[in-house]
């Protein structure tokens, strides 16, 4: 293999199935720390397993892998301010043998300046698909925005009133829109506008993930999730 082919292989996208959660990244990211388990795996030192779709399969916690992968990408550990699974994340870091991450998790220093905290917005799209339609028919789609930033929820409720007919439901920490059958193009349009609106409020995308599952014999469900974050200053009481 010449240098050009090797370079293309390092940057070529690969998809991992970690405990049922799918992540797309590159070989170079996975080999960021050569002495780690992932570095050895994608160097060819360890055997790899593929799922039915040809994705690399790792039988570990798929939700926590988002933090593992983000650390490989940035060499920084950034967790939500209300993160409650530190012990589990330490076990995952130990499994993957990423020494700098293990050190970060054992370091008692605060992740953010003491006068700031992280605000989080979760945007999810849940789409139910008919297995037996050709082309595949969208049965129903739901878009949900979840956050404790009430001003953002109020802004969405006030700025997206034209979508009220799509069963807009507003709760304390959540706004959701339900689209029913086969009008998923309108859901995509709303999602694009929502993502633009959220980023204009100072949030940046921290993580994206996709989850596929079958609930019924004639239905598939595909879930897309986007996590947005921004730092905010604490206000003294």
- 125 and 92 in a single domain? The answer is no
Query: What is the DSSP code (8-state) at residue 81?
Result: T
- 102 and 120 in a single domain? The answer is no
Q: Does residue 36 lie within any of the structural domains?
A: yes
Report which secondary-structure segment, H or E, holds 224.
strand 219-233
* Residue 133: per-residue pLDDT: 59
Q: Does residue 168 lie within any of the structural domains?
A: yes
Q: Does residue 111 lie within any of the structural domains?
A: no
**What is the pLDDT confidence band of residue 24, given thresholds at 50, 70 and 90?**
very high
- 88 and 142 in a single domain? The answer is no
Q: Does residue 213 lie within any of the structural domains?
A: yes
- 126 and 195 in a single domain? The answer is yes
Please choose, from the candidates 207, 65, 68, the residue with its C-alpha nearest in 3D space to the C-alpha of residue 124.
Answer: 207
- 126 and 220 in a single domain? The answer is yes
Parent domain of 135? 116-233
Question: The CATH number of the domain where 12 resides is what?
Answer: 3.30.710.10
- 218 and 184 in a single domain? The answer is yes
Show which of 106, 128, 152 is a domain's final residue: 106
Show which of 42, 72, 106 is a domain's final residue: 106
Q: How far apart are the first and last CA of the chain?
A: 63
Chain-centre distance of CA 47, in angstroms?
27
Given a contact cutoff of 8 angstroms between Cβ atoms, the answer to whether 29 and 69 are in contact is yes
- Mean pLDDT of the 207-234 span: 78
Q: Does residue 128 lie within any of the structural domains?
A: yes
Cα dihedral 52→55→129→216 (10° resolution) = 50
- 93 and 131 in a single domain? The answer is no
- 78 and 122 in a single domain? The answer is no
Q: What is the DSSP string of 37-52?
A: HHHHHTTTSS--EE-T
Our count of domains for the chain comes to: 2
Query: What is the DSSP code (8-state) at residue 161?
Result: G
Question: What are the helix and strand counts (H, E) for the chain?
Answer: 8, 10
- 131 and 201 in a single domain? The answer is yes
Q: Does residue 195 lie within any of the structural domains?
A: yes
Show which of 106, 131, 166 is a domain's final residue: 106
Highest mean pLDDT among 49-63, 156-170, 214-228: 49-63
- Mean pLDDT of the 17-33 span: 91
135: cis peptide before it, omega within 30°? yes
Q: How far apart are CA 223 and CA 63, in angstroms?
A: 13
Hey, what long-range contacts does 62-65 have (CB within 8 A, 24 or more apart)? 62/17, 62/18, 62/19, 62/20, 62/21, 63/19, 63/21, 64/88, 64/89, 64/92, 65/16, 65/18, 65/19, 65/21, 65/23, 65/92
- 72 and 26 in a single domain? The answer is yes
Highest mean pLDDT among 39-48, 61-70, 143-152, 159-168: 61-70
- 18 and 94 in a single domain? The answer is yes
**What is the pLDDT confidence band of residue 109, given thresholds at 50, 70 and 90?**
low
pLDDT mean across residues, the chain: 81
Helix H, strand E, coil C: the string for 94-152 is HHHCCHHHHHHHCCCCCCCCCCEEEEEEEEEEEEEEECCCCCCCEEEEEEEEEECCHHH
Q: Does residue 66 lie within any of the structural domains?
A: yes
Burial per residue of 218-234, b for 16 or more beta-carbon CB atoms within 10 angstroms, e otherwise: eebbeeebbbbbbeeee
- 35 and 63 in a single domain? The answer is yes
């Amino acid at each position: 293999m010449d240098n050009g082919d090797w370079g293309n292989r390092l940057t070529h996208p690969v998809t991992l199935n970690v405990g049922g959660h799918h992540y797309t990244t590159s070989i170079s990211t996975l080999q960021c720390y050569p002495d780690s388990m992932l570095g050895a795996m994608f160097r060819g030192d360890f055997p790899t397993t593929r799922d039915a779709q040809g994705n690399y399969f790792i039988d570990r916690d798929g939700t926590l892998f988002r933090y593992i992968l983000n650390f490989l990408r940035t060499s920084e550990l950034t967790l939500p301010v209300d993160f409650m699974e530190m012990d589990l994340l330490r076990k995952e870091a130990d499994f993957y043998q990423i020494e700098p991450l293990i050190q970060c998790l054992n370091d008692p220093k605060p992740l953010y300046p003491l006068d700031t905290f992280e605000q989080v917005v979760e945007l999810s799209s849940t789409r139910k698909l008919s297995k037996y339609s050709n082309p595949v028919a969208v049965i129903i789609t739901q878009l949900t925005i979840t956050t404790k930033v009430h001003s953002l929820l109020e802004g969405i409720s006030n700025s997206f009133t034209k979508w009220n007919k799509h069963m807009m439901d507003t709760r304390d920490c959540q706004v959701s829109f339900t689209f029913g059958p086969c009008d998923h193009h309108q859901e995509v349009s709303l999602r694009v506008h929502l993502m633009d609106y959220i980023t204009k409020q100072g949030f940046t995308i921290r993580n994206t993930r996709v989850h596929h599952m079958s609930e019924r014999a004639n239905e598939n469900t595909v879930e897309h999730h986007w996590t947005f974050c921004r730092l905010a200053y604490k206000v003294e009481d």
